[in-house]
Amino acid sequence: MAVDPLIEMRDVNKHYGKLHVLKDINLTVGRGEVVVVIGPSGSGKSTLCRAINRLEPVESGTILLDGHPLPDEGRELAKLRAEVGMVFQSFNLFAHKTVLANVSLAPLKVRKRSREDADRRSRELLERVGLLAHATRR
């Protein structure tokens, strides 16, 4: 089956000072495809992920999302970031909000969904991971 590419990285390079973290990275991730990147701690996995929504700028190479080059900055970049999700290794939840409110926060603020729609979808997701019973807990 032909791959419908959603993320494409071509000859991507990045250094932190003298440390060459991303070396000629070529990676294609197809629409609907699930890819696991495995490697030792410090090998650049997180840097690779951060490069995809430009949390880290790269020095050379091309990154295409759905066929479009990553915008440099401004409105277009903000729009792109609203579409590229990332769960950080040490993520934080808001302690003063319920589980449901934490899950609905991004759809409400970033995607401008109605509370009703956001909460409905959040409940479906919580149900899927067996956490619906805890939705109203902080």
Ligand X SMILES: Nc1ncnc2c1ncn2[C@@H]1O[C@H](COP(=O)(O)OP(=O)(O)O)[C@@H](O)[C@H]1O
Contact range with ligand X by CB under 6 A, out of 4-12, 13-21, 65-73, 123-131: 13-21
Identified binder of Mg ion from the candidate list 10, 28, 30, 46, rule CB under 5 A: 46
Structure tokens at 96: 């003063």
* Strands of 60-65's sheet in order across: 19-30, 5-16, 60-65, 68-69
Q: Which stretch binds ligand X (CB under 6 A): 5-13, 41-49, 80-88, 124-132?
A: 41-49
16 binds, among Mg ion, ligand X, none (CB under 5 to 8 A by kind): ligand X
Element (H, E) at 26: strand 19-30
Q: Which of Mg ion, ligand X, none has residue 19 at its interface (CB below 5 to 8 Å by kind)? A: ligand X
Q: Which of 132, 129, 136, 124 is nearest to 97 (CA)?
A: 136
Q: Per CB under 6 A, does 86 bind ligand X?
A: no
- Site stretch for Mg ion (CB under 5 A), options 12-20, 43-51, 70-78, 130-138: 43-51
Residues that bind ligand X (CB under 6 A): 16, 19, 21, 39, 41-47
